[in-house]
Chain A
Amino acid sequence: MPEKLNAKELCAKARRLRKVILEMCIARGGHLASSFSCIEILVCLYYGGLLKFDPRRPGWNGRDRFVLSKGHAEAAYYAVLADLGFFPSGWLDEQYRRGLCRLGGHPDHKLPGVEVSTGALGHGLGMAVGMALAARSDRSERKHVVLMGDAECTEGAVWEAALLASCHKLDNLLAIVDRNRIGSLDFTENYTSLDPLADKWRAFGWQVAECDGHDPGRLLQCLEDLGASRHPAPRMLIAHTVKAKGIDFMENDPIWHVRSLDDPSLIAEARRQVEGGGPDGHA
């Protein structure tokens, strides 16, 4: 387990990892906007003392289980896992979307630190429900955390899993929705009605909290409060985020879900902003 970082240190960690992710995506493509949307969430989980794990023993049975259901945030996930030492940092250059890459375009269960393969949306929550049911059957105290996309919540299977988890009162399950309000083509509310999203999850029997998904202090507080609750229900954190947070010309624009950052002047500007900590220097 790495040393638990405080909110300020978590900010610095996220800023440093943004640089790593940016260089990965400049070199090899990848879902930069989706990764920047959830990097503070990942950093809080892995460096904020919320997940138990051991990079030297990825299969250690006492670990908490994390599932990146929005598998297209793989660049952020790989950057975190490499930084923690689950695999060599060199892989980010040598193996990411390159050749017969070990670090492919979506996470793979064979990778150290990755529980299950994801990439097709709407699978992660159900698999985590299964793991949580197994933990209960085995009298294990471990936690199960799933990070989902908001547009992923238009998959019917998500709500099937939500129903079963609440019926079984799976208080060992925490799901986080990265609520950046953008899918791959358009703003979510232009084609579906996710809002009021928190009310929907509450109606499904979940204990729900909401916060700014780019503020490590608020994230930590919310996650700790949810974890400490004795309410017999699965937990949901809706983290309000900005897609591509940290690069102003990409922020909150659906086209950057798929567009590659290959224009030299835009690359230079993106580097300048990420180096400086965001367009206004405070991201």
Chain B
Amino acid sequence: MDMRDRFISTIYRRAVDDRRIVFLSCEYGAPSLDRFRSDLPEQFINAGISEQNAISVAAGLAKEGKQVIVYSIASFITLRCLEQIKLDLCTMGLPVTLVAVGPGYAYGVDGPTHHCTEDLALMRAMGAMTIYSPSDDRMVAMTAEMALAAGGPVYCRLDRGDFPNLGKLSAAEKENGFRVFGGPARICLVTTGALVRQALDVAAQSADRGIELAVVDLFRIKPLAQKPLAEVLSRFDFILTLEEHTLNGGLGSLVAEVVVDYGLKTRLRRMGIDDHHLYAYGRRERLKTMAGIDNGSLAEAILEAAGKCRNAA
């Protein structure tokens, strides 16, 4: 099931028995939303293509006891209404969940207006905001449940498409907001969301060539379990980060902060979008290749990292 449909179906099941749950769409649909709209019309509001107002309205609803979901395309529900997110949601700590669909180049051919390569940096800068970036179907359902239970503002970053389960999460993994794939290795790749599957594919290819690689799936970006993450990262000689996001303030920055804050003696290479705007239309894989975050670029980076580990030994 598409990530957004899993998320909305999970919310729907809760909303049937809980009238406090209100769903605001910014004139954006989904097959799963049709059922919500028809079965629970009093709990659904089409706020129109008015993201700023949608956030303010959500704040007003939440202030009066509602649990509010606001749903739109990632680029629009972040950049268009950033001040409303900061002031109306975060400063007042209101329980509103932003469901942002299509991060990175997920809307590839739709072009730069729909690409969203800044959202993590922006949402990380928002005090009190919880950020989830799930990587598989089961995790999306869990994220929807946790968002309803959060009691404050939440940003859920959902990719487009079906993301089969990658395994069940342990209690500790749920608590820490990340999980680690792979056994002993000298290189660790940290990534999030849809890119976890890409990372696992490339890791399998690398293993065939004799390079073992651990993959960290960081699904809760905020609050970050810094200490547990630092403990995991400290086991590796080389850390790679991979993000479909600007290198300014995203996942790579977050890992660099942990490395510095905990004085880790490890090499770090951040792979993401350089400090330029990729003004291009095209299939997602094509755009990722142009940005240097495709499978081939990642495989090369792993080879280089393995070389550096050998030289250092």
Contacts and interface: CB of A to CB of B under 8 A. Distances in A.
Interface of A: 109, 115-117, 119-120, 122-123, 125-135, 137-138, 156-157, 160-161, 163-164
Contact of A123 (B47, B56, B63, B65): B56
Contacts of B184: none
A197 B10 CA distance: 45
Given A129-B57, A157-B52, A123 B64 contact: no
Given A109-B92, A116-B60, A133-B61, 18 more contacts: A115-B63, A117-B87, A117-B92, A123-B88, A126-B55, A126-B56, A126-B60, A126-B84, A130-B56, A130-B57, A130-B61, A130-B64, A134-B64, A135-B64, A157-B56, A160-B52, A163-B48, A164-B48
A164 B91 CA distance: 24
B250 to A, nearest CB: 26
Given A134-B66, A137-B42, A128 B87 contact: no
Given A109-B92, A120-B83, A137-B66, A164 B57 contact: yes
Contact of B57 (A116, A117, A127, A137): A127
A129 to B, nearest CB: 5
Contacts of A128: 60
Contacts of A126: 52-53, 55-57, 59-60, 84, 88
B72 to A, nearest CB: 14
Classify the secondary structure of A's interface with B.
helix
A122 B88 CA distance: 11
A152 B86 CA distance: 19
A120 B87 CA distance: 8
A115 B64 CA distance: 10
A6 B66 CA distance: 38
11 contacts: A116-B92, A126-B57, A126-B59, A126-B60, A127-B56, A130-B60, A131-B61, A134-B61, A135-B64, A137-B42, A160-B48
Contacts of B84: 123, 126, 157
Nearest to B56: A126
Contact of B59 (A116, A160, A163): A116
B256 interface: no
